[in-house]
Amino acid sequence: MRITRNGFRGFVFVCSVALAFLTCIIPYAGAQDVAPPPTHQWAFKLGVFIPSNGGMMQLSSVPWMSFGFDYCPAIAFSPLNGQVHLDIDYSQHDLHGNTNFVVPLTANLIWTFDMHDKTVRPYAGIGGGIYFINAGYMGGTTQPGLRLTAGLDITDRYFLQGTYDYVSGFSNDIGTGLRADGTTISMGVRF
């Protein structure tokens, strides 16, 4: 493997920025009040994925089945006063013998809005991750993407959630430009 001068400079720059960021953030992490760990760290979601852009939408005009898991680790540090959530979802639709699916693996920051001791609490978040995609006429691809989340905690355990995924475009084996953007609407339970 050959490393070019510009590649080495880029690597040094990224390492310097990361070191500066950690040097500035770590002292403040100990100064925060330690939040109690979440009561329910795991969640299961079941819903529908609706493709909203490009060829994936044209491949199927009906919603896809979707389910997923959400993990909220008990960490003392809250970036930007939000909770870190790690998600893995699976959305699938079979069309003319081809199985199309999208598997996002995302890290998200979620902010819950305090409604003065009300049981129903809205929340919103943003995140990003890697999307594993299999579409008709191709073996599969991995693309980066962003996720916007909005939801409503109905109780301490049950919730409704909507997400919008913006995923980088790609082409299948026959040259059709595709995107895996879409909205997922789901119900969930925390445990």
Mean pLDDT split into 10-residue runs, the chain, 191 residues: 49 58 48 56 96 69 90 87 94 82 95 82 96 80 95 94 92 74 96 92
Question: Strand, coil or helix: what is 174?
Answer: coil
Q: What is the predicted pLDDT for the residue at 37?
A: 55
Dihedral Cα 133, 135, 138, 139, nearest 10 deg:
40
Q: Strands 42-51 and 182-190, how do they pair?
A: antiparallel
Q: What is the predicted pLDDT for the residue at 179?
A: 81
Q: What is the predicted pLDDT for the residue at 177?
A: 73
What range does the domain containing 177 cover?
35-190
Q: Tell which residue, 101, 102, 121, has the closest CA to residue 112.
A: 121
Q: What is the predicted pLDDT for the residue at 25?
A: 47
Q: What is the predicted pLDDT for the residue at 20?
A: 56
- Are residues 11 and 97 both part of a single domain? no
Count: domains in the chain: 2
- Are residues 79 and 168 both part of a single domain? yes
Q: Which CATH number does the domain housing residue 74 bear?
A: 2.40.160.20
Q: Tell which residue, 146, 163, 45, 167, has the closest CA to residue 102.
A: 167
- Are residues 101 and 175 both part of a single domain? yes
Question: What is the torsional sign of CA 34, 35, 36, 40?
Answer: negative
- Are residues 22 and 94 both part of a single domain? no
- Are residues 135 and 168 both part of a single domain? yes
Q: What is the predicted pLDDT for the residue at 15?
A: 56
Q: What is the predicted pLDDT for the residue at 152?
A: 95
- Are residues 5 and 93 both part of a single domain? no
- Are residues 78 and 3 both part of a single domain? no
Q: What is the predicted pLDDT for the residue at 85?
A: 96
